[in-house]
Amino acid sequence: MKFLTTYCLCGFFLLLGCNDTTQQQNNNTYTVPNGFPALPFPASNSYNDAKAELGRYLFYDKQLSIDYNIACSNCHYQKFGFADTATVSIGVSQEIGTRNSPAIINTGWNGAWFWDGRATTLEAQILGAMTSPREMYADTVVISQRLQKDTMYSRMFKSAFTSTTIPSTGLAVDAIATFCRTLISGNSRYDQYTNGDKSILSAQELRGLQLFNSERTQCSSCHSGFNFTDNQFHSLGLHTHYYDQGRYNVTGLDSDIGRFKTPTLRNIELTAPYMNEGLFTTLEQVIEHYNSGGKVFRNKDSRIKPLNLTPQEKTDLIAFLKTLTDNSFINNTKFYNPR
């Protein structure tokens, strides 16, 4: 599950044009970057620091899988933008997945989860991954029992919820979702540029930015806003026939065959392979796909068409995309495995 499965090299882009580098502070341990909207939390799963810390422990804990061999972190590595380098991830008993694991970056602002958008909440996405036979294949009753036998978790659940809380799979999901919402990336060189440091990008990177925002490429009509995504679903002409029918599996609409969710481009340099099936291993291959106009397919987005980019323009675009790498995010010790 990943990148430009909807990188429709597409048009008008919202620059985060602020000159104030001050970030939005709050009473919690997470910080919302300047230019970002407030981080939304559902009423049924409000934020507190203890819950986020519990979620961090659980995110790295393999006992949440049926065979004690898979944790959330097995498919979401911090150094790769909380994505996976495998084409498709491997679950319990070496079960092979069907899609590439998406990066967990600014996921609290998503409108839907999974490549096909079948989960309408982050909590539902996490539970879906935990219980999937191809992923962690967790039995919710068994996982609850394991957590209840763990004295450390008994204390942590009480701190995160109430003094009478008994650990359960459902509450574990809430805690993991809370932790995942704090995985915020907004301090790339591009962000520093939009926040006033106009000398931080090279001439080549600025050419790439201009091309990214141009009517010619229309990159930014799909990869828009502070998180470089429109949170919509598009078909990119990757195939002439889609065995994985994407959004159609959720809606049943013929027009949704081959459509997948637009991923964020943040930290895209680190999150290969790209597309929902891990089809491309390099950014060069991705750019070449869009430059070619893709393959003939009835639902292909109309913005996917030959671009006739020069070799220099392709290089410029990639140079810009690499400015979205946030080293402070991938090296943030607050996100490390706590054990």
pLDDT digits (tens, 9 = 90+) for 213-247: 999 999 999 999 999 999 999 999 999 999 999 99
Q: What is the pLDDT of residue 29?
A: 79
* Alpha-helical segments (H) within 87-195: 122-131, 140-149, 151-160, 169-181, 189-194
- Judged against a pLDDT cut of 90, whether residue 17 lies above it is answered with no
**What superfamily does domain 3-17+186-329 belong to in CATH?**
Cytochrome c-like domain (1.10.760.10)
Q: Do 181 and 122 form a contact (C-beta atoms < 8 A)?
A: yes
Q: What is the pLDDT of residue 24?
A: 46
pLDDT digits (tens, 9 = 90+) for 276-318: 999 999 999 999 999 999 999 999 999 999 999 999 999 999 9
Q: What is the pLDDT of residue 28?
A: 65
- Judged against a pLDDT cut of 80, whether residue 3 lies above it is answered with no
Residue % of the chain over a pLDDT of 70: 92
pLDDT digits (tens, 9 = 90+) for 88-120: 989 998 999 999 999 999 999 999 999 999 999
**What superfamily does domain 43-184 belong to in CATH?**
Cytochrome c-like domain (1.10.760.10)
Q: What is the pLDDT of residue 5?
A: 42
* Mean pLDDT across 143-163: 98
pLDDT digits (tens, 9 = 90+) for 112-145: 999 999 999 999 999 999 999 999 999 999 999 9
Instruction: Let me know how many helices (H) and strands (E) the chain has, helices first.
Output: 11, 2
- Judged against a pLDDT cut of 80, whether residue 147 lies above it is answered with yes
82 Cβ contact list (under 8 Å, min separation 6): 76, 103, 104, 105, 183
Domain locations in the chain as residue ranges: 3-17+186-329, 43-184
Angle in degrees, CA 2, 230, 22, rounded to 5: 95
pLDDT digits (tens, 9 = 90+) for 77-88: 999 999 999 999
Question: Are 3-17+186-329 and 43-184 in the same CATH fold?
Answer: yes
Least confident among 24-33, 146-155, 266-275: 24-33
